[in-house]
């Protein structure tokens, strides 16, 4: 079941890629399978069916899985990170999607230095300016990108967006489009260390539109594993 759903999501991503108008059709898309609240057996099944990237949103859950999972994969932290968990985040994750303040950047940089690592990170943007969501707002974005870029043990790799949960998913499109414009703009700028290559946006309900509008990382949970049990 997981393998079938996974292959359907992969096929949908390919179809969305071919529908692109403003964005190069060739630019590939990395699928992050979001395994939060799913067990190790489900993770193994997905990995054995071809998943190479997994996403978790809680440090404690990721730590337990990391210690038990007997498979090689890339780990993505997609959830909000608290500064006091920075050290564990740096230990377990290949890419942290959720840097949203200078304060957090400082903590992650310090943790990475202590572990002698250069941590790949994305800056999470709250483009719709939702009160309930984390992410930096437009007006603070450039300053935060500069701050992250200035840190020796961080490598800024791009941007991440969680779109609002609109009743009509098409309403996400202008936000995705604006994110892609910002992504292209910062990709063309001069940085000290940054290597801007990823635009992480799109979840189960909106990843097709995100891919059409230029996402090159999508984060899909329910579409692969079914509904989460809480």
Ligand X SMILES: *Cc1c(COP(=O)(O)O)cnc(C)c1O
Given the rule CB under 6 A, which residues bind ligand X? 34, 36, 57, 78-79, 162, 203-204, 219-223
CA 81 distance to own-chain centroid: 13
Nearer to ligand X, 35 or 147 (CB): 35
Cα–Cα dist 94/207, whole Å: 22
Q: What is the SS3 assignment for 195? A: coil
Nearer to ligand X, 65 or 153 (CB): 65
Is 93:77 a contact under the CB 8 Å cutoff?
yes
Nearer to ligand X, 123 or 151 (CB): 123
Vertex 26, ends 23 and 30: CA angle to 5°?
Answer: 90
Instruction: Return the HEC string of 94-155.
Output: CEEEEECCHHHHHHHHHHHHHCCCCEEEEEEECCCCCCCCCCECHHHHHHHHHHHHCCCCEE
Nearer to ligand X, 34 or 144 (CB): 34
CA 170 distance to own-chain centroid: 21
Nearer to ligand X, 59 or 151 (CB): 59
Q: Which residue is nearest to ligand X (CB)?
A: 221
Shortest Cβ 95–ligand X spacing (Å): 13
Task: Name the β-bridge partners of 31.
Answer: 218
Shortest Cβ 116–ligand X spacing (Å): 28
Shortest Cβ 71–ligand X spacing (Å): 20
Residue 50 has which token pair?
A: 């071809």
Shortest Cβ 217–ligand X spacing (Å): 10
């Amino acid at each position: 079941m997981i393998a079938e759903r996974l292959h359907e999501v992969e096929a949908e991503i390919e179809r969305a890629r071919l529908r692109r108008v403003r964005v190069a059709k060739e630019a590939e898309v990395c699928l992050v399978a979001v395994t939060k609240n799913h067990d190790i057996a489900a993770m193994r099944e997905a990995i054995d069916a071809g998943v190479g990237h997994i996403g978790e949103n809680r440090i404690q859950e990721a730590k337990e899985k990391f210690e038990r999972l007997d498979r090689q994969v890339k780990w993505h932290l997609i959830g909000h990170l608290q500064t006091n968990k920075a050290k564990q985040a740096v230990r377990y994750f290949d890419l942290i999607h959720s840097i949203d303040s200078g304060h957090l950047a400082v903590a992650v940089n310090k943790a990475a230095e202590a572990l002698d690592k250069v941590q790949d990170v994305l800056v999470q943007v709250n483009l719709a300016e939702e009160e309930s969501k984390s992410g930096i707002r437009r007006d603070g974005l450039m300053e935060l990108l500069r701050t992250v870029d200035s840190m020796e043990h961080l490598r800024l790799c791009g941007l991440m967006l969680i779109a609002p949960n609109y009743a009509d998913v098409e309403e996400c499109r202008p936000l995705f489009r604006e994110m892609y414009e910002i992504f292209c703009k910062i990709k063309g700028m001069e940085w000290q260390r940054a290597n801007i290559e990823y635009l992480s946006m799109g979840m189960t309900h909106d990843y097709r539109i995100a891919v059409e509008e230029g996402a090159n990382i999508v984060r899909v949970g329910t579409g692969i594993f079914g509904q989460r049990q809480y």
